[in-house]
Amino acid sequence: MDDEPPLSPEDAATLRFLKRLVTVLTTVMIGGVIVLITLLVIRLPQSAPPFPDSIALPDGTVAEAFTRGRGWYAVVTGAQEILIFDATSGALRQRIEITP
């Protein structure tokens, strides 16, 4: 069943080199994935800023979207306007009308 000719010493040495090369590359790839995961865990924020408990919208407005930034949060309403509120006091800072 073994009809293959025996390997020459040069072919055996090449196969050993390729085996070591694949092992080293696999080790480097696994190490890289571990480093990436570690950096993601370290760099991502541990806790997000808290959401406001409640938002007092003007009468007759319906919220469609919400976003926040440092020191403010914004609500997009069904009347096609953006209401920007102060994050600490909850007071309306600015009202922006969206024009099509």
Per-residue tokens: 7: 């390997």
For residue range 35-72, what is the model confidence (pLDDT) as tens digits?
999 999 888 877 766 777 788 888 888 999 999 888 89
Give the pLDDT score at 84. 94
Task: Determine contact, residues 55/63, Cβ cutoff 8 Å.
Answer: yes
Q: Where are the domains of the chain?
A: 1-44, 50-100
Give the pLDDT score at 3. 76
DSSP per residue, 31-43:
HHHHHHHHHHHHH
Give the pLDDT score at 71. 86
For residue range 74-94, what is the model confidence (pLDDT) as tens digits?
999 988 899 999 888 888 899
Give the pLDDT score at 94. 92
